[in-house]
Chains A and B, each alone.
Chain A
Amino acid sequence: EVQLVESGGGVVRPGGSLRLSCAASGFTFDDHVMSWVRQPPGKGLEWVSGISWSGGRTTYVDSVKGRFTISRDSAKNSLYLEMNSLSAEDTALYYCAKGDYSTYYFDHWGRGTLVAVS
């Protein structure tokens, strides 16, 4: 069974930093692209960042470029999101999402970790 478990969320002051983690299991982690998707309270979904299976290619939505860094550790089957210079607009539930091999649609999602910037 595929499982994605996010952690690392919390309350942070504007300008602060957080590091989100996603522990993956139940599939061959190295075979799949991964992404972070966020959802502000009561609002829609926003794709934030993606990373190739090797980690060699990363992409970001413009609003987080230069502030967020996505990475992965194949030895730990884990995905990360380093978030700096946080603002109120970054307040959201952050989901870890598994891509379909090299394609960025998402067949499994974690339950999310809440980031509140206040």
Chain B
Amino acid sequence: DTGVSQNPRHKITKRGQNVTFRCDPISEHNRLYWYRQTLGQGPEFLTYFQNEAQLEKSRLLSDRFSAERPKGSFSTLEIQRTEQGDSAMYLCASSSTGEGDTQYFGPGTRLTVL
């Protein structure tokens, strides 16, 4: 257990529905990252926050995706109008720039879009 928690661990939804995932980082970590991983591939970066500011977004993050970190602590990732291609593992990681900036990952949320 790295101290990064994600909820839910599994989500099954129908195409067209909206889903929201939550990530709670290690306490005091100022950076929080979202990645997506499809079967047989390594994780791909989506976006990251430093405190509450969203500093970088990948081109993978389409208009249907939005992420927030309102108070610089937990973060949410929302996918609107889900598509079957959104089926993947969504991973969250956190790091502290004051402590070496090593990223520690949560267990992930497995999304299945039917």
Q: Do A and B come from one complex?
A: no
Interface residues of B, Cβ cutoff 8 Å to A: none
